[in-house]
């Protein structure tokens, strides 16, 4: 059995840790995840339902829960035909126009947006492009709390594009640290040709 301690971890880290532990099983086995709140339990059980895993969840003590995944046998290697991996990107464009996510508390909004970008890096299907404009332009520059995650996306083939007018307006032109500079024509083109547009 593999044990994962995700107590104290903020969303989406417990789910990410669970997925990683399951992938490392390379076959049948069990993964036990310890977490500290019911929302995380719900997120984990929802993932198990989507993937078809057997699971159980129990409250151990106040503020501590145990989720157990039971994973069935993986197909034998010889039964799995060798195929080329498809492009991991979709025709989705993510448009980020602020340095916070949602309306309300600013610090919470920043925390949510950082978690959103990290969660993007963990998706099976990545977006084709992530656009940054207006207040979002600072997120691709030196000192951004999500630079490493954006560089990870870029290394996987995701286009990271920041509005040049916005960088200039905020005095950030020389501080761009990931991706490339773009213009409004290209932004409109990316958005109108996208199969799906996500605005966190």
Percent of the chain at pLDDT above 90? 63
Q: pLDDT at residue 87 above 60?
A: no
For the chain, give every domain's residue range: 2-76, 92-198
Strands (E), 36-99: 54-61, 64-71, 92-96
Task: Quote the pTM value.
Answer: 0.65
The predicted-structure confidence for 105-127, as pLDDT tens digits, reads as follows 999 999 999 999 999 998 988 99
pLDDT attached to residue 175: 96
Q: Kindly report the average pLDDT of the chain as a whole number.
A: 88
What CATH class is the domain 92-198?
A: alpha beta
Q: Which helix (H) or strand (E) holds 30?
A: strand 29-35
Average pLDDT of 172-176?
94
| Bond into 12 cis (ω within 30) | yes
The predicted-structure confidence for 154-173, as pLDDT tens digits, reads as follows 988 899 999 999 999 999 99
Q: pLDDT at residue 75 above 80?
A: no
Superfamily, domain 2-76 = TusA-like domain (3.30.110.40)
């Amino acid at each position: 059995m593999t044990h994962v301690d995700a107590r104290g971890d903020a969303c989406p880290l417990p789910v990410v840790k669970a997925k990683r532990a399951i992938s490392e099983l390379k076959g049948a086995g069990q993964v036990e995840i310890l977490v500290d709140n019911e929302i995380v339990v719900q997120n984990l059980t929802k993932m198990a339902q989507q993937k078809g895993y057997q699971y159980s969840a129990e409250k151990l003590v106040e503020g501590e829960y145990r989720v157990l995944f039971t994973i069935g046998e993986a197909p034998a290697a010889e039964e799995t035909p060798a195929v080329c991996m498809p492009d991991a990107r979709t025709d989705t464009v993510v448009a980020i126009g602020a340095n916070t996510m949602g309306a309300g508390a600013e610090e919470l909004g920043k925390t949510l947006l950082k978690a959103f970008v990290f969660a993007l890096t963990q998706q099976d299907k990545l977006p084709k492009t992530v656009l940054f404009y207006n207040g979002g332009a600072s997120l691709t520059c030196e000192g951004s709390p999500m630079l490493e995650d954006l560089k990870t996306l870029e290394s996987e083939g995701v286009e990271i594009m920041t509005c040049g007018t916005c960088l200039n307006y905020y005095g950030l032109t020389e501080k761009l640290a990931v991706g490339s500079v773009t213009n409004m024509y290209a932004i409109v083109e990316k958005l109108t040709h996208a199969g799906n547009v996500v605005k966190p």
